[in-house]
Chain A
Amino acid sequence: MDHRAEDDALVEQYANGTLRPEEIAPFEEHLVGCAECAERLLWTERLQAGLRTLAADAAGAAEGAERDAAARIAPPLRPRRAAPLPLALAAGLVAALGAGGILLHDRGRLRREVAEQQAGSDQWRSRYEAERRERETAPPGPAAPALPRGNVPVLLLSAVRGGAPRHLPALDLVPGQDFALLSLEVEPEVAFVAYAARLQGPGAREVWRTDDLQPAAAAVTMLLPAELLPPGPYAVTLEGVRGDGRRVPVGAYGFLTRRR
């Protein structure tokens, strides 16, 4: 492989996990024998790790500052064509770095974005409540026939052990994929009559919870609408439910969703 500008792009894509699958093996074979690319990759990884650490630190600070407004944001019930989380987060992170005028400008922009999301969210909450009341009072109709679905992405998760993971498994969603299936590895316990799960998204916002998961083949599964999973980090907390109703922590599962 001759070194050209495109090769730098390959290093970046490899570090970021966005290299095409068919390009990975040839690139890795080159990487082993090329000190230059190995060094480029090392510094890219270090820069990436630094940015992630900074992002985590600044996200925590930004969340604290915007907690009241952000806490009332609920996920919309239909896909909205707003900026994905990374854009809002990136704007907030740039603000949190304290770069003078950028700080004031982007804090204002972040507040406006939060306010817009909250206003939109309030509208959807009202609509959802109206629809829910309508469903509860309407007579039950014939069950709609279940339609088969293809191209449902599946993510297999193992419990996080020994503290927060350095890198989260990624769930890649492409346009047209309306659902995603999460399979959480568990060790079946006869004492548990069910499992309760709580799914939290970016900013520790609760996305969904349930308390009647039943294990099958040493896993519990959840089929989630893709619209509930905008890009960002997620965590599932799993508890075992005993016959007497008491709950026992079982584990935590982390993952990241990405739009392709």
Chain B
Amino acid sequence: MTAGDQTGASLARRIQEGEREAEAELVRRFGPGVSAILRRATRDATLAQDLYQDVFRLAIEKVRRGELRDPARLPGFLCGLARNLATDHFRGVARRRLEPLDLVEPPDDAHDPLQQLLAREQMSLVQQVIAELTSDRDRQLLFRFYVGEEDKDRLCRDLDLSALHFNRVLFRARQRYKELYERRLRERPPVRPGPAGGPGVRQT
């Protein structure tokens, strides 16, 4: 049994014994991974949040009732539960009357000023990341991989890159984005939604 398996088995045992702190630890430890799977499965942040609550509610209920067949495989159980709930949600979605809609344009946040503000901040961070890259080829790599969703091997051939260089560019871009984002959070207070219909306001 690996260390991870021991953690899962230990947590399951403590939850079954009624320890509330163990339930909170379950969410802390496995929440980010479950959230990632749900984001991927639903492509909808709000839905993913709703299903996230359901995953842990159901998981804790099952563990309490001793229905977890293999406590050592708690992460696998949570993974399967998340996938199944996402699948069940889409199977159960009722047909709604189609509404006339505009063409698929770039995301239109005209009715959500907060989202517009957040998007602008996001863009300025990404612009800085892009501007700090030393070559046009690296910039193209980021856009073609993350926006064009092109295959890595093909990009390496087209741009004459080694796989190592490819990985390094993505790693550095991600790390730099994270640094800039966290620095921005430290320097500026977070945005909170303003009055209905108005832009988000910064807390003072």
Residues of A within 8 A of B (CB): 5, 8-9, 12-14, 16-18, 25, 28-35, 37-57, 59-60, 84-87, 89-91, 93-94, 97, 99, 102, 106, 159-161, 163-168, 170, 186-187, 200, 204, 231-235, 237, 248-254, 256, 258-260
Answer whether A8 and B167 are a contact pair too, CB < 8 Å, given A46-B181, A51-B147, A89-B143.
Answer: yes
Interface of A is mostly: helix
Q: When the two chains form their complex, are residues A53 and B139 in contact, meaning their CB atoms are under 8 A apart? A: no
Chain B residues within an 8 Å CB radius of A25: 79
Verify if B127 is at the interface (C-beta below 8 Å from A): yes
Chain B residues within an 8 Å CB radius of A204: 103
Per the bound structure, the CA–CA distance linking A12 and B133 in Å amounts to 19
Per the bound structure, the CA–CA distance linking A238 and B177 in Å amounts to 40
Give B123-163 interface residues, CB cut-off 8 Å to A: 123, 125-127, 129-131, 136, 139-140, 142-152, 154, 158, 163
| Given pairs A35-B29, A97-B127, 17 additional interface contacts (CB within 8 A) | A9-B152, A14-B40, A33-B7, A42-B36, A53-B107, A54-B123, A60-B106, A86-B150, A90-B143, A102-B136, A160-B101, A161-B99, A164-B108, A233-B104, A234-B104, A252-B104, A256-B149
The smallest beta-carbon distance between B85 and chain A, in angstroms, is: 14
Q: How many residues of B contact A (CB 8 A)?
A: 73
Chain A residues within an 8 Å CB radius of B173: 47
Q: Which of A51, A161, A234, A251 lies in contact with B126, CB distance below 8 A?
A: A51
Per the bound structure, the CA–CA distance linking A40 and B167 in Å amounts to 13
Per the bound structure, the CA–CA distance linking A28 and B152 in Å amounts to 20
Q: Which of B33, B39, B170 lies in contact with A32, CB distance below 8 A?
A: B33
Q: When the two chains form their complex, are residues A43 and B177 in contact, meaning their CB atoms are under 8 A apart? A: yes
Q: When the two chains form their complex, are residues B131 and A99 in contact, meaning their CB atoms are under 8 A apart? A: yes
Verify if B83 is at the interface (C-beta below 8 Å from A): yes
- A252, closest chain B residue (CB): B101
Give B66-98 interface residues, CB cut-off 8 Å to A: 75-76, 78-79, 82-83, 95-98
Verify if B4 is at the interface (C-beta below 8 Å from A): yes
The smallest beta-carbon distance between B140 and chain A, in angstroms, is: 4
Q: When the two chains form their complex, are residues B177 and A33 in contact, meaning their CB atoms are under 8 A apart? A: no
The smallest beta-carbon distance between B6 and chain A, in angstroms, is: 12
Q: 1/0 per position for B15-37, CB-CB distance to A under 8 A?
A: 00000000000000110111111
Task: Report 24 cross-chain contacts, Cβ distance below 8 Å, ordered by A residue.
Answer: A12-B152, A13-B152, A28-B37, A29-B76, A29-B79, A33-B30, A33-B75, A41-B36, A46-B177, A50-B125, A50-B177, A53-B123, A86-B144, A94-B140, A97-B131, A159-B99, A165-B104, A170-B149, A204-B103, A235-B104, A250-B100, A251-B100, A258-B148, A258-B149
Q: When the two chains form their complex, are residues B44 and A166 in contact, meaning their CB atoms are under 8 A apart? A: yes
Q: Which of A5, A43, A85 lies in contact with B148, CB distance below 8 A?
A: A85
Q: When the two chains form their complex, are residues A39 and B32 in contact, meaning their CB atoms are under 8 A apart? A: yes
The smallest beta-carbon distance between A85 and chain B, in angstroms, is: 7
